[in-house]
Amino acid sequence: MKNLKKSIDVPEKAMNAVFALCGFLAVAFVLVITVFLVISGIPAIGKIGITDFLFGTTWASTAAQPQYGILPFILTSVLGTAGAIVIGVPIGLMCAVYLAKMSVGKSTAVVRTAVDLLSGIPSVVYGLLGMIIIVPLVREIFDLPDGANLFSAIIVLAVMILPSVISVSETAIKAVPKEYEEASLALGATKTETVFKVVLPAAKSGILTAVVLGIGRAIGEAMAVMMVAGNVANMPKLFQSVRFLTTAVASEMSYSSGLQRQALFSIALVLFVFIMIINLILNFVVKRGDSNE
Amino acid sequence: MNSAISKKRRVKTAVLNVLVYICAGIMCLMLTGIIGYILVRGIPHITFGLLTSKPSLINDTAGILPNILNTLYIIIMTLAAVLPIGVGAAVYLNEYATNKRIVRIIELAAETLSGIPSIIYGLAGMLIFVQFFSLGTSLIAGALTLAVMTLPTIIKTTQESLKTVPNGYREGALGLGAGKWHMIRTTVLPSAIDGIVTGCILSIGRIVGESAALLFTAGMANEILGIGESVMPGKAGSTLTVALYMYAKERGEFDTAFSIAAILLILTLIINLAAKLAAKKLRRKEN
């Protein structure tokens, strides 16, 4: 008995501690990432001045008189994301409605496989396709000197957020109780009317989650955008070459130094703050959705 | 029946229906378009020489063997780093943790990690692994960065699988006198293996497709590295995705870029298929 107790106790306690450590590593990673980004992001903001940095309209990091205003990047990221949402969410929602309510037999599997595969395609491949197909197309259609602009980026981003928007809203639509639908049908509404006037409003919080997730994906996308947006630090216009927050960090990092490099870290910090706000909203939306049920 | 519905309502219903079908059609067309285009442009340029050599400026030949190897190395190193931690965390959440608040905090941390975009991981990885731990721009730094990035996936799939292990197994093992760790090792983990496998497959999918997080951590070198060299600090190397980016954006060599894209696409298809099979197996167990 004594033997047994001993043989259990020591490894038991040790393993308990090991597993707890693994669990808390996730928390530690979040903290470490935050600390490193804040520590490296703050100095440049201090030197440049927070208003000049956030609201300055000129980014000229390599000029003789360098200027570090990131308002163009912030606005580009916000507008680009908004554009992607405006185009991607309605299409995604319709597709989710199809998958959840209207498809029959094999067609469900076909469309779902398409959605799954689209979500697995690497972002550089989307970027490559954007470069080769979308950019020349935009140049031709709108008769521009160069098709690498905000509009092309919006198209590529809209495609890229589609899979996550679709799968999250499909889950939300499917979670709506059947009784709602039955009641609506019994009152004489058509199936389509029921879906759009009863089911979708009831799935509101899940769809909102899908939208917020889409925002998070769009605002954080770097490589594909880098390949199609033209990458010039202009104030955003639909048919002008622009730079996003993500691409601002990525495009200059490899050759940057001194204050310019620090400023890039500050941009990353701004992006990180954006993402954290989106995460908070996501948690808030998801939680409120749960408590409603 | 239909006459009871006004014309306006009928038109509206029809329009919405058509829109729904069009959107579903767009998805399928887009996928076939993308796959077809990439394969048509990429496959003809995939040659034996491309797959088995490194790029040579003297002979002016392209080669992606280093990138294929680097991708493999990074997959293996990332999984080696993330699996113990991720599975351990899931076991802790599901088997050990009794305090609801602690569980919530860890789950929140995992959710936060999964929401961080890869470019931020790249930057944080550069600051932490490349500079702070002075690993230099290297495959190992890239792999560690990706390990943090894929941690939430492993935790989540393992946890889901652990939840399907019947409590009877645990009670049976404990009743036979096994300690908790013994029970987890011999009963719970083996029953949860398919969830862990699913997590691995999903993680491999993310690793294969990842580029922004690797650009500044694993670097852009195109040298062939031996297995021993690949884990050394300071040994940089680009994966297939990073190489694709360099060929397309920096050098304008679209033929090579498209052949890499075709390879990536085929890998994506395989991984997707594998994930589906694993998920199916998991679901069968749940029922």
Our measurement of the distance from residue B267's CA atom to the centroid of its chain's CA atoms, rounded to an integer in Å, reads: 11
* pLDDT at residue A242, as a whole number: 92
* pLDDT at residue A290, as a whole number: 54
Complex ipTM: 0.90
Nearest to A222 among B97, B119, B269 (CB): B119
* pLDDT at residue B235, as a whole number: 87
Profile chain A (293 residues) by mean pLDDT over runs of 10 residues: 57 87 93 94 89 86 83 93 95 94 85 90 94 93 89 95 94 92 91 91 91 92 91 86 91 83 92 92 71 47
The residue of A121, A184, A243, A256 whose CB has the most chain B CBs within 10 angstroms, and thus the best one to mutate to test that interface, is A121
DSSP assignment letter at B239: -
Distance, in Å, from the CA atom of B41 to the CA atom of A135, rounded to the nearest integer, reads 17
Collapsing DSSP to helix, strand or coil, B60 comes out as coil
Nearest to B264 among A122, A226, A246 (CB): A122
Interchain CB distance below 8 Å, A220 and B120 = yes
Domain ranges of chain A: 2-55, 72-292
The residue of B98, B100, B119 whose CB has the most chain A CBs within 10 angstroms, and thus the best one to mutate to test that interface, is B119
Superfamily of domain B49-286: MetI-like (1.10.3720.10)
Q: pLDDT tens, B46-74?
A: 888 888 888 877 777 788 899 999 999 99
Indicate the fold that domain A72-292 takes in CATH: MetI-like fold (1.10.3720)
Q: What percentage of chain B exceeds 90 in pLDDT?
A: 54
pLDDT over 90 at B129, yes or no: yes
Distance, in Å, from the CA atom of B287 to the CA atom of B285, rounded to the nearest integer, reads 5
Interchain CB distance below 8 Å, B89 and A23 = yes
Distance, in Å, from the CA atom of A66 to the CA atom of A162, rounded to the nearest integer, reads 39
Any idea of the CA torsion for B120, B126, B131, B132, to the nearest 10 degrees?
Answer: 40
Interchain CB distance below 8 Å, A36 and B128 = yes
DSSP assignment letter at B61: B
**Confidence bin at B195 (pLDDT 50/70/90):** confident
Number of neighbours of residue B203 by Cβ within 10 angstroms: 26
CA nearest neighbour of A160 among A138, A134, A139, A142: A134
Average pLDDT over all residues of chain B: 89
Set of chain B residues whose Cβ sits within 8 Å of the Cβ of A220: 116-120
| Beta-carbon contacts below 8 Å between A and B | 247
Instruction: Between B166 and B4, name the one with better pLDDT.
Output: B166
- Whether residue B240 contacts residue B268, with contact meaning beta carbons closer than 8 Å, is answered with no
- Whether residue B177 contacts residue B132, with contact meaning beta carbons closer than 8 Å, is answered with no
Q: What is the DSSP pairing of strand A67-68 with strand A59-60? A: antiparallel
* pLDDT at residue A293, as a whole number: 43
Nearest to B209 among A37, A122, A216 (CB): A122
Of chain A residues 157-216, which have a CB less than 8 A from chain B?
159, 162, 166, 188, 190, 192-193, 196, 216
pLDDT over 70 at B287, yes or no: no
- Say which residues have a Cβ less than 8 Å from residue A112's Cβ, sequence separation at least 6: A99
pLDDT over 90 at B279, yes or no: no
- Whether residue B106 contacts residue B117, with contact meaning beta carbons closer than 8 Å, is answered with no
Q: Which residue is closest to B239 within chain A, CA to CA?
A: A124
Set of chain A residues whose Cβ sits within 8 Å of the Cβ of B116: 33, 220, 272, 275
Instruction: Between B97 and A166, name the one with better pLDDT.
Output: A166
* pLDDT at residue A1, as a whole number: 47
